[in-house]
Structure 1
């Protein structure tokens, strides 16, 4: 894994997750992150590597080297990596993980019901394709 370019593994069938992926691609002006869907070979392999079932994921992960961040910590790492003004949202680190993570998991468990599910996986625009792993 390239530590200079953390990989965000997300559910490309989830409307909320796909919106988040597009948000990252739009606001990551320095090309810091790479993305991989859990439906693709790279994303599924990374989920399995860190003990997450790609068929029933409960979280997105941010992989840097041999480490995977999960739940609210992963979201905070994304905001931090995007730079200003998004980095300001990392003030939420002041809230204990014992409060942040259950809220994250509640939304993650109900993401299809709350935001919808795509019939097909989200596909990046051609100018973004180099940042999305197969």
Structure 2
């Protein structure tokens, strides 16, 4: 399950990229702002103020910040799955970069008034 900021243009663009380039249709998605997203945050005791945008829950493990990005890359086709090798960079450096982008995402990429609405053929991949 990939939780994302549903009003963030960067996040929505990233979801579209993932859908286009994933190996299989294994990932499910939910906007953090949605009822399902809020339930998952509560279920896994995740403080959304501490994570600042992308959260991946895979096999019961919660990945945040650059760890989430690296883990999501594993779901992608070549060459995009090479992003998983970013883990060779020390976590403090990866997370500093992640936090810089995350804290400026609205300023740099803009935001929407509301969460994206999936097309009918993708609706089963998104929890509301």
Mapping 1:51-66, distance limit 5 Å:
51-53=46-48, 58-66=52-60
Which 5+ residue runs of structure 1 have no aligned equivalent?
1-6
Specify the SS of the correspondent of 2:48. coil
63-72 or 94-103: bigger deviation: 63-72
- Total equivalences in the alignment: 127
Matched, 1:23 2:17: yes
* Counterpart for residue 109 of structure 2: 115
Aligned CA RMSD, in angstroms, stands at 1.7
Q: TM-score, normalised by structure 2?
A: 0.90
Aligned to 1:3: none
Q: Which residue of 2 aligns with 1:43?
A: 37
Following superposition, the deviation at residue 79 of structure 1 comes to 0.7
- Per-residue deviation at 1:51? 2.5
Aligned to 1:81, what secondary structure does the other structure show? coil
Deviations along 1:57-101, one digit per CA (max 9) or x if unpaired, are 513110023321000010011111113221112222111101000
Q: Secondary structure at the match of 1:78?
A: helix
Which SS does the other structure have where 1:110 is aligned?
helix
1:79–1:86 CA contact under 8 A, matched in 2: yes
Are 1:34 and 2:10 counterparts?
no
Match of 1:13 in 2: 7
What are the within-5 Å matches in structure 2 for residues 83-122 of structure 1? 83-122=77-116
- Cα pair 1:59 1:105 within 8 Å, conserved: no
Give the deviation of 1:124 after TM superposition. Answer: 1.4
TM-score of the aligned structures, taking structure 1 as reference length: 0.86
Question: Is residue 25–residue 128 contact of structure 1 (8 Å, CA) maintained in 2?
Answer: no
**After the TM superposition, which segments of 4 or more aligned residues of structure 1 sit over 2 Å from their partners?**
47-51
Structure 1 distance, partners of 2:64, 2:32, is 14
